[in-house]
Structure 1
């Protein structure tokens, strides 16, 4: 009997775990609300420091969990060499829901600084902008080693500063942070190549791919982003929800992407209803597209990128400098929660059209191992995240079936050894928990 009760407790714990997996602090979704952001479950939790002298160390190739309050200014520390480019990204995850108000200028900023407080340049902020509704947004900072560089060119410790701007009339909840640090080796001596970004490139979008769409199910973050190939993909999206996708782009290749929102019954007008944000493999935002919604079919597309090339990093334009490396490029698609007010709280048809032009070429002559960025570069971590999200996505009905199966097994154990099913015979149905419970 003790064994049965113990097994029962374990079974109930397992069912409870299935129900709770994927709900992070402050990010549990209520029924009818979008799901939480899929944080990297391998991430190390680290607290940001108010003073630089207390900053905790971050390491290249690692992901971290943190959080930030309204108006917060948090310091972290990284160790950089004198030859590698460095990238620090921070994904800010506000609470989701119709009551969580954000302002146009609300957002975060990421900076890399030397020990004297000099900025390494290429600091970046991310704000909600005209699409003023809560969703995950990512900002980044970059240290680029240049022959004529002035600041941040030497080896040693550097500070990462993450700042949050929140208007007094906006929701004052704490935001989750996912911080990622990446490093890119320099080039071999004598093989630097062009040191200026291209002034022009083929920017005319190709004819959008057509034909039968394949089924896709977007993720809820960078870590479980759905892997797509060039072609047409269909998904569903709810108001307030952000769907993440990724597509590999090689050296010399050019990505074109768009998102189509299907028609719906109802009437109304929602400005910036669909936001389409394109990120490069180190989570730097490179281009954005928006569209209004009035119930008719609409399409949004980020500005086209140049072919991926090492020299792009020397440009001051985000859509050029962002296409500086091969790897997974991410598309974050968000549907405004205001769409529900005029057209209903339901799933809307979403069609992704992906085109990758050009033949993949060789990588530049790196002085070290050729880096691989993005989810596909570390599929072990990516698959783990997908498994986690898969479990978290199990429906209540599935959990109920699982629970009934456990009860049935326990009932049989209580009656004796579980019988082996014989072909052509069916065991009598048993429902509900064992009577000993």
Structure 2
């Protein structure tokens, strides 16, 4: 083996005497590589495998549901919380409210992957005043889609001349409980709670729901769609507007989109599942399209069975967005009471994989808007959070340019951080090696 000389002659007549051994050099480089590894972020386990069933809002506060009202933890309008729901028994949270604002609490339930789901399984959310009188109650179940997926129910404390109960200031009780049958799986579900306040109006106007609106479905949009991958939760929902939008979806996956709607605008939406390249059989409730309003209150949904051919789930026509819709009788009409971002949530049932494989399958979301934008009702204050009941310029720009992130519920963002960190770490190695070289040269004698 050829031995390294004790000195090397460099151009310009300089001699660099190598004082460190080869072993020392290897040790230094190895140490630098260890440092490089140390600065790389540790990604969630799901980034390299199957995505989780739901991406919770970044910074969501942890809160524990109490077994009674005495030790119930408070929910503050404008904040998002993460909690859990046992299979049996009620859990309680607290709202401390004034006498003028309407306050809403949306509860998103997330069963674990692989959980057994029956048609009657779901959640019930109610709000009661200090005297135990019910202010609101909402129950949502999985219905024909026997596949674990995020579902949401909402509760409200409203103050209006039409609903005099629960209009006083004070402490209110938010109650969440599971509904189901004796066959329901005894597992714990994750919860995301989102509390919102809506200020009163400057002037009291009409207190009746609009009686006339266009209930006919327009001609469906046709043509190829623009690719727009949905998010994995309400907080990461990807904005879309009128048009056709495509993505890949796997069985068991749920994608979240949001559509900014002004006052007076009317929304129509259809989700289409492409044909399969193989497999056979009939999957009941394979594709589900759900609509939620800006406070994440359930509006309506539609499902489609699947036999390997292209199928579509289409929402029934809904009224234009109007403040007065809250006085309508049917829930799906009264839920169209706010301007802001409406959420389209698409789920492909896990059972599809049993008959047609793991996919992915082609999803096309067709969105149409009708009606002229109108002025708002005139709020006497700000909502909490402050960007809920209007459509901002940034939201319009995001719809046009797809600026709202990757839609992967955090995985793509994590990969971006990883790439940036990797580049930074590589640069760090080069810089440290360069400094080491300069220091070594300065310490050497010149012969």
Q: TM-score range by the shorter chain?
A: 0.7 to 0.9
Q: Counterpart of 2:263?
A: 251
Q: How does 1:27-426 map to 2 (within 5 A)?
A: 31=49, 33-97=50-114, 100-121=115-136, 123-188=137-202, 191-265=203-277, 266-369=279-382, 372-373=387-388, 386=405, 392-393=411-412, 412=430, 416-417=434-435
TM-score for both structures, normalised by structure 1: 0.83
Distance 1:35 1:88 in 2: 24
SS in 2 for 1:53: coil
Match of 1:432 in 2: none
What's the CA shift string for 1:102-149, capped at 9, x where partnerless? 11111111111101111102x111211111110000010122212143
- Whether the 8 Å contact between 1:70 and 1:166 is mirrored in structure 2 is no
Deviations 1:47-68 (A, max 9, x none): 1111101011111111111111
Structure 2's unaligned 5+ residue stretches are: 1-23, 438-447
Cα pair 1:38 1:385 within 8 Å, conserved: no
Contact 1:248 1:327 in 2 (8 A): yes
Offset from partner CA, 1:288-347 (integer Å, 9 cap, x none): 100000011111012221011111001121221010010000011000111111111111
Q: Give the equivalent residue in structure 2 for 1:12.
A: 37
Please state how far the C-alpha of 1:234 moved relative to its aligned partner.
0.8
Structure 1 residue 201 displacement after superposition: 1.6
1:389–1:72: structure 2 CA closer, same or farther, 3 Å change rule? farther
Taking structure 1 as reference, are residues 389 and 343 closer, same or farther at Cα in structure 2, changes over 3 Å only? closer
- Residue aligned with 1:222, SS: coil
Partners of 2:95 and 2:120 in 1: CA distance? 28
> Which deviations, in whole Å up to 9, do the C-alpha atoms of 1:374-408 show, x marking residues without a partner?
7977989x999958957523799x99988986886
Q: Distance in 2 between matches of 1:331 and 1:367?
A: 30
Paired residues of 1:277 and 1:289 also in contact (CA < 8 A): yes
Larger radius of gyration: 2
Distance 2:228 2:152 in 1: 23
C-alpha distance in 1 between matches for 2:294 and 2:176: 20
CA-to-partner distance for each residue in 1:197-233, whole Å, 9 max, x for gaps?
Answer: 1234211111122233111010001000111011111
Structure 1 range deviating more: 293-302 or 208-217: 208-217
**CA distance in 1: counterparts of 2:94 and 2:422, whole angstroms:** 51
Unaligned 5+ segments in structure 1 are: 420-437
Between the two proteins, the alignment pairs up a number of residues equal to: 404
Deviations 1:249-294 (A, max 9, x none): 1001100011011011221101110010000000011111000000
Tell me whether 205-214 or 75-84 shows the greater mean CA deviation: 205-214
Query: C-alpha deviations, 1:16-60, integer Å up to 9, x for none?
Result: 52x22xx6xxxx5883x4434111112111111111010111111
In structure 2, do the counterparts of structure 1 residues 223 and 152 end up closer, same or farther at CA, with 3 Å as the change threshold? same
Q: Distance in 1 between matches of 2:422 and 2:78?
A: 44
Change (3 A) 1:173 1:143: same
Q: Which residue of 2 aligns with 1:423?
A: none
2:39·2:425 contact (CA, 8 Å) conserved in 1?
Answer: no
Root-mean-square deviation (Å): 3.2
